[in-house]
């Protein structure tokens, strides 16, 4: 059985987000088959190519983990890895974990007025300002707007396949309470924490993430 890794970046990002993690994974035979999904925010969109392996593990950052479920190979995912991800983003009712819908709606209105500023502010808050595209880069504002809208609507059923959830206790976007609500009580899920990873796991703490992912894939291979 050959196992490949399919990478799905989050909102406002591009496949180059994964370079530090791909570098950290280099040299591990069980993670050498890889494919990248591109939402098309700053360059033409690209679907993952599943031709190089028989089984695939999805690796998604933030909204990318939920997105991966919409782009699974025909055989489904052998397993998934969430980095700062979630099964839902907005709180379904007052008092429950998650972002208030009105906050995302306010961000949508601000994006319609000044998309570059909203993108800059968001990635800066995530400690990912280094991933901002050059000022001359053309933005697909329609796709970015749709991605924000999905934060209100997204809901993924609890994982029924093996899942590794890597999260940060100081994440300013996906709170620890929301992470626990999404993943902590799921029998197929391993939830592991970094104390100081912000909303940038995968780009930050890449060696630690690679170590966790490698062990997870090894477990799938021998499980």
Confidence grade of residue 72 (pLDDT, cut at 50, 70, 90): very high
184 pLDDT above the threshold of 90: yes
Burial class (CB in 10 A: 0-12, 13-18, 19+), 65: buried
How much is the pLDDT for 186?
86
What average pLDDT does range 93-113 have in this prediction?
Answer: 94
Residue labelled with tokens 């993670």 = 31
Mean pLDDT estimate for the chain: 94
What residues have CB less than 8 Å from 31, skipping those under 6 apart? 5, 25, 210, 213, 214, 217
The pLDDT value given to residue 133: 86
Q: Which residues pair with 189 in a beta bridge?
A: 163
Report whether pLDDT(136) > 70.
Answer: no
More confident residue, 109 or 29: 109
Give the residue-averaged pLDDT of 84-98.
93
């Amino acid at each position: 059985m050959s196992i490949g890794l399919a990478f799905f970046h989050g909102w406002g990002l591009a496949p180059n987000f994964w370079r530090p993690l791909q570098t950290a994974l280099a040299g591990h035979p069980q993670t050498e088959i890889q494919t990248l999904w591109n939402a098309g925010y700053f360059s033409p969109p690209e679907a993952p190519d599943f031709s190089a392996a028989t089984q695939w593990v999805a690796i998604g950052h933030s909204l990318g983990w939920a997105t991966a479920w919409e782009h699974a190979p025909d055989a489904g995912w052998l397993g998934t890895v969430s980095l700062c991800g979630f099964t839902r983003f907005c709180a379904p009712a007052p008092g429950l974990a998650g972002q208030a819908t009105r906050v995302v709606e306010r961000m949508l209105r601000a994006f319609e007025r000044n998309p570059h500023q909203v993108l800059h502010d968001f990635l800066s808050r995530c400690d990912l300002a280094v991933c901002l595209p050059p000022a001359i880069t053309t933005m697909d504002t329609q796709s970015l707007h749709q991605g924000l809208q999905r934060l209100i609507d997204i809901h993924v059923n609890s994982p029924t396949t093996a899942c590794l959830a890597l999260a940060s206790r100081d994440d300013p976007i996906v709170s620890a309470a929301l992470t626990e609500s999404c993943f902590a009580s799921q029998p197929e899920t391993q939830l592991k924490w970094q104390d100081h990873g912000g909303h940038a796991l995968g780009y930050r703490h890449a060696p630690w993430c690679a170590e966790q992912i490698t062990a997870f894939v090894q477990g799938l291979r021998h499980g």
